[in-house]
Each structure stands twice: as C-alpha cells, then as structure tokens.
Structure 1
Amino acid sequence: MSRLREMIKELCPDGVEYRKLEEIAHYVRERIKVSEIDVCNYVGVEHLRQNTEGREMSVTLPDADFVIAFRSEDILIGNIRPYLKKAWLADCNGGTNGDVLTIRIDDKMSISPQYLFYILSSERFFSYDMKYAKGAKMPRGDKKAVMNYEIPVPPLPIQNEIVKMLDNFTELTAELTAELTAELLLRKKQYNFYRDSLLNFDQNDRDVEWKTIGMIGDVTKLAGFEFTKYVTYVETGKIIALRGLNVKGKLDLTDVKYLDGSDLTKLERSKLYKDDILFTYVGTVGQVALVDCDDKYYLAPNVARIRFDKAVVDPAYIRYFFQTEYFMRKQIEKHAKTSSMKNLTMENIRKFQVPIPPLEVQQKIVSTLDRFDALCNDLTQGLPAEIAARKKQYEYYRDKLLTFRRKGA
C-alpha cells in the first residue's frame, strides 16, 4: 500500500481524471455465426455466476443463426437483474446473447482491461446500475446509463499496481474461503450425523410412542384459486405470502411476495401463527420451516401447514425429525407420487409416522440441535459468518483501492 501511495504522489499529485465509460470503451455489436462457436466458448447470461464469480460451462448452443461476438479481455456484464452482480473478464474468444453487455476497451494503452473489470465488478458500479435499471419483476440495466458511468483513470503503472494487489488479495481470499467452505461442509456432515443419531429411536422403546402426523397435528393446504382470487401483491410491505421457495429447513426471506394488507379477512384460513410447520408437497418435496411469529405470514399454494398441540409436541422437534435421513428415505419416498412432478397428498402427510418421546426429552433435543445448527448455518455466527466477513473485507479493500481524489476537486 505504501508503494501505491508513493506512485500516486509521484504520478498524479493533483488527483485523477474521471472519464465516462463511453469515452474509453464501447458496446460490441459484431456478430458471429453460431456454427463458428461451441459450448466451450458460448457464454449466455445464464452462464455468468452471481457476485462476479466467473462463468459456468454451457451444455447447449442457442437456437439462432448469429450471436454477439466477444474477444479475450472484453468485459461481459449480465444486463438482467443487475443486483445479481454478474460480470466476467473474458479469457477466450466466443459468443454471447443480447442479455449480456459486451464491453471492449478502445485503447489498452490508457486503461487496463483487468483494472476496468475490477471497477465494473465493484459494489459501487452495481448499485449505480440498479439505480437506473428499468422494470419491476425482471429489471434490466439501462445501457445508456452504464456508458455514462464515470471511471477514475490514473496512469497505467498505477492501474497495473492496483491489479497486482487485487489479484493477490483475490487469490488469498479464494484460498481461505475454500478452506472455510471445506470446514463448513465437514461440520454439516457431522451435524447431520449427530442429528440423525439423536433422533434415531428404537421402535420397542417404551418411553417413545410412534404416532401418525394426523393423530397429533392438523394438516391443511390452500387451493391455488382460493388464494389468488383474493390476493393483490405489492412491492413492499409487512404481510408476506410464504411460498415453496421460502421453505428451506428454515424460513428464507430473500425472495418474498408482499400482500396488500388492506383486507385479509377472506384469507383468514391461510393465516399462519408462531410454531406452525410448513411442508412442501409439490416439486421439491419435504422441505420444512417453522413459522417464527404471529400476524406476519399467510400460506400460499403448494405448501402444507401442520399445526400441533404444543402440550404434547414441540414443533421444533418435529422440524428436526423431518430433516433426518430416515424420514426423507423411509417416509417420503414411500408415500410420494410421481406424475409430471413429484408430489404428496395431505392424506399422505397425515400418514407419516414420528417418534414422540416425553416433551422434556423433545425440548432437550431441540436445545442441543439449535446450538449445533447455529454453528453450521446461522450467518450471524460460526463459519458462514467468517466466510461472509472475508468477502466484505475484500470488497472494502477493493473499493478503497479504486477510490481516487478527482483532479481539479
């Protein structure tokens, strides 16, 4: 960092010139025949990974005669849903589709492709891109606004030094993240084994009763037409319709549908309460979650709601049991039907058998697994938080390196 400070002091003591992207680069409009590329060098928007984590290999080519051509060191940016932060510095020649902005530098003697890529993969750029994006459900970046984005252009030696520093930091961060991810996977395997061992009850254990869900809980679903007839979705709000994609072992609220809460009386039957269990019964069958509060959630179609007598059953205990290998393998596979899509009926769910030990035993198991689960999965502690912290540290370091005093300011 001290060397970079010395270079800035020597080469641009009065600040750095800022230029619009359109002054240093352009959108590629050149076309190439699909017959001239293959799956190795076709990169559509669907092949760009989120959070600027590179690209995935394609398995098919588009059904078209021509695609947009790109060259090595062009920068490809996903133009659909800019908040996904898709960007890639091409390492080969190839073709892409119209949902990707292909940016080519006009003069590489004035700006380095690697340096520009770091600029266009920063939080600052994607926040700007989203600010001018158009569309609600599927926002698209504004091509003209992107070209108006202002970029600091220090002398090339400074750009190269920054690229060198960020490359090193990226490599170290990737290595550490890989180590932490491997550790996390190991912890999760240990957790799954420990959870399944705790919940593996002998059928002959006198202190444990095996009962069907129908005997100890109320299972219901909501017909699709019954829900959509009375629902108006809004962009923001406090009332949420929980769908199958929100049920992932616990509630996942990264992509939710808000309801117009002005009149919910006709949806009273779909109202959810604290400790209700949600269970997916179509498609990805067997995902569960526990409702964490009253007066916030309503049940959307394709999710079953199970409500227990809490004097007999701790719902959190059932949630953990539903996640065991025994339950997934023995119960769901036994009852699930497959037509065009894997599914369960409410009657199937009522037939599920679960071991019911004394309530105090259930609560002790829940307390133990809650602590272990937090270590493995909770983003506020444990290894996932460490991984997230490393990524934030890198983003801060990158944005700091790419911030310059404007010349003449």
Structure 2
Amino acid sequence: MGKLEQLIKELCPDGVRYEKLEHCCNILDRQRRPVTKSARESGDYPYYGANGIQDYVSDYIFDGTFILVGEDGSVMNKNGNPIVTWAQGKIWVNNHAHIIEEIDRVLLRYLYHYIQTVDVTSLIHGNIPKLTGRDFKAIPIPLPPLPVQHEIVRILDNFTELTAELITELTAELTARKKQYEYYRDSLFTFGDDVERKPLGEIATIIRGGNFQKKDFTERGIPCIHYGQIYTKYGLSATRTITFINENVAKKSKFANTNDIIMAVTSENLEDVCKCVVWLGKEKVAISGHTAIIKHNQNAKFLAYYFHTAMFFKDKKKLAHGTKVIEVTPSKLGDIIVPLPSLSEQQRIVDILDRFDTLYNDISKRLLAEINDRQKRYEYYRNKLLSFKNIDVEV
C-alpha cells in the first residue's frame, strides 16, 4: 500500500467534505487594478491578465505566492477546465484574473492542482466568456486532512516536473528538426548568378480574393478556402477543401483554378503573413478576402516552397505594414524578385523537398503525439488522485 492510500485509509476512509472555494482561501479580487497599455510604465514586475503575464511594469500591488484564475476573455481550455496560473513574488494583476492566497488549513498548491480539474463550462457566460466572482467563489472543493493534501501535492509536483522535463526535451527535438528542415530547404534555393531572376509580376497575375466570411460556411456546396485556414488547416498543397459556401455567396467571390497559389496576406504576426497553399483540386475553389491568388507559368510547388524560405521572408518583411494586424498589399507582391531555374530543375527541387517534407511531418506528428500523450497521462493521474467521495452527499 502506498503512502497516500495509507493516509486516506487512516484519516478519511469514508470520504471528505466539500466546501465552497471562498472558504478555502483568501480571495483578493478587490485589490486588483487594471492599467491600460498606454498608461503602463515599463519595468521589472510581471503584469498578469486572464491567461498569464501580459506585460512588465514598474510597480506591483501583490507580494507573495498566489493562484490566478481567468475571469474573462481566455478563461477556459478546450477540456472545459479554467486557465490557472501559479504566480510568485512582486506582481501586478488586472481585473481579468481572480487572485487567491493560502489560508492555514488548505494548501495553496493543493488548490492549484485541484482547480485545474474543475469543469467550468456551465459557469461561463456572456459574449465575452466570463467566470463571475459569484460562480468562482462557489466552486466546491474537496478538503482532505492536511497530511493527505501534502502527499498529493508532493506526488503531483514530482509528476509535473518529470512531465515538463520530458515535454521540454521533445519540444527541443522538434525545434531542432524544424531548423534542420528549414536550413536544407533554404540551401536548395541558394542559386548562383547563372540562374535567372525575375519580378513575380512578370511571371504571374496576382489578384485579390473574394469577400465571404466564416459565417457564410455551409455543410455542402461550392468548395472554398478562407485565409485563416491557410495558417494551420492546410499544408503546402491541397486537393480538397474543409469548408463550403452556397451559390449566392460564391457569386461575390473570386476563384482559384488548379495549380494556382493561394496566399494569406493578413495575419496578427509576420511569420504567418504570406503563408500559402497550392490548389491541386480538379474543380475551381472560392477564395476569401485577405488573400492573393497567384496565377503563374512556373512550377507551383517550387514557388510555394520558395515563399516559405528565409530569403522570401526578408522581402515580405519590407512590404509588411501594420501593428496589431500585419498586412502585405497583393499588388506589391509583384515587385518581389524570385529565382527561376529551368522547369526540370524546379521539379527536381520539389521532388527532394516533398520527400524531406514527408519525413519532417512524420517526425513532427510522432513527437507532438508523444507530447500530447504525456500531458493526457498527467491529467488522468492528477484527476484520479483528486477524486474524493463527498461524505455530505447521501448515497
């Protein structure tokens, strides 16, 4: 019998009482103070919001060890559990996160682990998701004796540390593989003076996409690609779409044909601007706004691979404008100079990169699956450790 099982058998064999969260800690929400971004003075102290550190400021309003739980905005993960942050030292917290501190009979670290297991889906309300103070305070918490809390914390902290170390190692390997792939890809696009170079506008016609939005999606109809999908939903090429629009919406749209390149020209970050997908489907596909449709006379995948290189990144960086939203004007893309080896050489490079891309994606999927599996194992084990019979509930 393990130490935890022995403690439970000795101290709470019949179960434990559940109490409202407000009776298990000190809730310090009234001491929070938001500061607009323009009014913040830069400094060394973390400025926390709903989902962690948002900025660093020159002053603090709390000093100690605390748990922060998202109140509005980003308050819940995909499993329905709240966003929980462990914060220590001198900090500033705005009014988008609940803040709690420890009391004598309940370990703060125990609450940290337990709150992450709570399904708050039914407690989140409003157009902007909100976990109100009233609902937050009423969350039921199982309270085993302190020795049991200590042992649970010890086990979960050790488990968390080991899981974090492994995830860090796997993430580092994934990063290394990505850099290796990018270096190899970029080296294939490093040409000598004997290779012709031309402005993109001389080998392609560049047009803006249409104007449909996500709200226009239908279960069936005319295949369409929305610019936001290009960042994560598609790879370098596609033969099928994941969304559709009806004929009335399609009449106001623009279309890409087989072998056209569809490029997203708007994003919140420079990295995603100008990501693209080659359309290889047999039928034409409707394209949303915030895109450029590139109709060309070269090898489509060769150009698409080039549009992901470090060399192209330097060019798009010069064209990009905006702060919160980064944009590249489609018409300006025509000025970018692209290398143009023979079509046979373009195909040779594509064949090499296709094989390398497949290998890299296989490795990436394996590593990501292992990271996900480790996280799920931790969550399963944590949830089992924190499941207690409520002795106040009649069976």
Q: Normalising TM by the smaller chain, what interval?
A: 0.7 to 0.9
- Residue 294 of structure 2 is aligned to residue 306 of structure 1: yes
Partner of 2:74: 81
Select the residue among 311, 314, 318 that pairs with 1:326: 311
Partner of 1:169: 159
- Residue 132 of structure 2 is aligned to residue 142 of structure 1: yes
Partner of 2:238: none
Report the Cα offset of residue 117 of structure 1.
Answer: 0.8
- Residue 180 of structure 2 is aligned to residue 184 of structure 1: no
Partner of 2:319: 336
The 5 A counterparts of 1:49-128 are 49=52, 55=53, 58-59=56-57, 70=62, 72-79=64-71, 80-84=73-77, 85-92=82-89, 94-105=91-102, 107-109=103-105, 111-122=106-117, 125=118, 128=119
CA contact (8 A) 1:272 1:291 kept: no
Select the residue among 27, 45, 49 that pairs with 1:45: 49
Partner of 2:120: 129
Deviations 1:29-74 (A, max 9, x none): 4437899x9954553316x43xxxxx4661466xxxxx9x555343
- Residue 28 of structure 2 is aligned to residue 28 of structure 1: yes
Residues 249 and 28 (structure 1), Cα distance of their counterparts in 2 relative to 1, 3 Å cut: closer
- Residue 384 of structure 2 is aligned to residue 400 of structure 1: yes
Residues 389 and 217 (structure 1), Cα distance of their counterparts in 2 relative to 1, 3 Å cut: farther
Report the Cα offset of residue 338 of structure 1.
Answer: 5.4
Residues 320 and 265 (structure 1), Cα distance of their counterparts in 2 relative to 1, 3 Å cut: closer
* Matched AA of 2:378: Y
Write the distance in 2 (CA, Å) between the matches of 1:351 and 1:151: 62
Residues 275 and 178 (structure 1), Cα distance of their counterparts in 2 relative to 1, 3 Å cut: farther
Residues 161 and 363 (structure 1), Cα distance of their counterparts in 2 relative to 1, 3 Å cut: same
Write the distance in 2 (CA, Å) between the matches of 1:339 and 1:14: 62
TM-score normalized by the length of structure 1: 0.74
CA contact (8 A) 1:248 1:287 kept: no
Select the residue among 133, 141, 158 that pairs with 2:148: 158
Residues 203 and 375 (structure 1), Cα distance of their counterparts in 2 relative to 1, 3 Å cut: farther
Aligned CA RMSD, in angstroms, stands at: 4.0
Structure 1, unaligned runs of 5 or more:
50-54, 62-66, 253-257
Range with greater deviation from structure 2 (6-15 or 285-294): 285-294
CA contact (8 A) 2:49 2:94 kept: yes
Report the Cα offset of residue 212 of structure 1.
Answer: 4.8
Partner of 1:201: 191
Partner of 1:255: none
Residues 17 and 386 (structure 1), Cα distance of their counterparts in 2 relative to 1, 3 Å cut: same
Describe the SS at the equivalent of 1:267: coil
Range with greater deviation from structure 2 (148-157 or 69-78): 69-78
Report the Cα offset of residue 361 of structure 1.
Answer: 1.8
Structure 2, unaligned runs of 5 or more:
36-40, 236-242
Write the distance in 2 (CA, Å) between the matches of 1:369 and 1:220: 31
Residues 337 and 141 (structure 1), Cα distance of their counterparts in 2 relative to 1, 3 Å cut: closer
Range with greater deviation from structure 2 (165-174 or 391-400): 391-400
* Matched AA of 1:374: N
Report the Cα offset of residue 247 of structure 1.
Answer: 3.9
Residues 235 and 348 (structure 1), Cα distance of their counterparts in 2 relative to 1, 3 Å cut: closer
Deviations 1:317-363 (A, max 9, x none): 3221111122323x435x62758887544343234424353264254
Partner of 2:249: 264
CA contact (8 A) 1:82 1:130 kept: no
Residues 200 and 251 (structure 1), Cα distance of their counterparts in 2 relative to 1, 3 Å cut: same
TM-score normalized by the length of structure 2: 0.76
